[in-house]
Amino acid sequence: MEKNGLEHRLRERKIGLWIAGISGFFFFSFFAAPLILPEGTVVDINGRANTFDFASKDGSNSYGNSPQGSLHEHADGTLHQHDHFSWSELDLYTGFIYAFADLNCHQNHERSWMIGGNQMPVCTRDVGIFFGLMMGGVLFSRRSYNRWTVRDTCLSLLPDEWLVDVYVKNRRTLAWLACGIVLCMPLIIDGFTQLLTGYESNNLTRPLTGAPFGLGLAILIGASIGARAEKFDHASDVVLPGNARFQLKSEEE
């Protein structure tokens, strides 16, 4: 019997490993893809998030190669125009990774690392987020338990002894939100400080603030899939910290 009252947690383990596997594939590919390409293939690109900018060298979905998209101002004030780049002309693997990055990341060259003479597919913040997603998947596979709701499944990763007062006093929502805020706050503070002030974070700060966000996101995704009330015969069958028990409203009335 597992600590949630069910006989096993195979489903939670599989969900966590899937999250870790998919995010880990992308995380390691962000380093591998630029190493595979000839040096200088991807240099100083700068696109926009949530749209394709480098699908071709001209025409539709090629804003990054247009005169306005390829002209950048360096830190010293000089203007530079990068060589045209198109992921559709790459091999299947590296093309897929750079296409995925093109759609999901702004790919600002000043906020990206260079690997093997090529710009990485995503910015350093996204590198941190995917690392956090991978680690969150591993953590979910090892420590999560289906506890009827998404909120309680998220909290199941914490030691039960930490949660006794939370469940006895029914402060589950407060604890759940507090955990989410703690994991998101580094990214929020860093991002909004840049937006509202003259502060500019660096390529060490960005991945460090992105990783906790990715960790929390992986746990939330895992709990959203892993929380299944139908696995229990009754709400009161869920074993909770402090010997607390769920009671449906219809039963209370």
Q: How many domains are there within the chain?
A: 1
Is 2 a domain residue? no
Phi, psi for 169 (deg, rounded to 5)? -95, 5
User: Quick check: 251 pLDDT over 60?
Assistant: no
What is the pLDDT confidence band of residue 81, given thresholds at 50, 70 and 90? Answer: low
Contact (CB, 8 A) for 149 and 6? no
User: Quick check: 253 pLDDT over 50?
Assistant: no
Is 16 a domain residue? yes
Is 3 a domain residue? no
What tens digit of pLDDT does each residue of 231-242 get? Answer: 998 988 999 998
Q: Does the reported pTM lie above 0.85? A: yes
What tens digit of pLDDT does each residue of 207-233 get? Answer: 999 999 999 999 999 999 999 999 998
Distance, in Å, from the CA atom of 241 to the CA atom of 140, rounded to the nearest integer, reads 18
What is the pLDDT confidence band of residue 192, given thresholds at 50, 70 and 90? Answer: confident
User: Quick check: 69 pLDDT over 80?
Assistant: no
User: Quick check: 12 pLDDT over 80?
Assistant: yes
Contact (CB, 8 A) for 176 and 35? no
Is 160 a domain residue? yes
The predicted structure's pLDDT at residue 73 = 60
User: Quick check: 149 pLDDT over 60?
Assistant: yes
Q: Please, what's the largest Cα pairwise distance for the chain?
A: 72
What tens digit of pLDDT does each residue of 196-209 get? Answer: 887 888 899 999 99
Is 4 a domain residue? no
Gyration radius of the chain's alpha carbons: 23
Is 166 a domain residue? yes
The predicted structure's pLDDT at residue 246 = 85
Q: Domain limits at 145? A: 10-252
Is 178 a domain residue? yes
What is the pLDDT confidence band of residue 63, given thresholds at 50, 70 and 90? Answer: confident
What is the pLDDT confidence band of residue 80, given thresholds at 50, 70 and 90? Answer: low
CB neighbours of 208 closer than 8 A, spacing ≥ 6? 128, 186
The predicted structure's pLDDT at residue 191 = 83
Q: Average pLDDT of the chain?
A: 90
Is 1 a domain residue? no
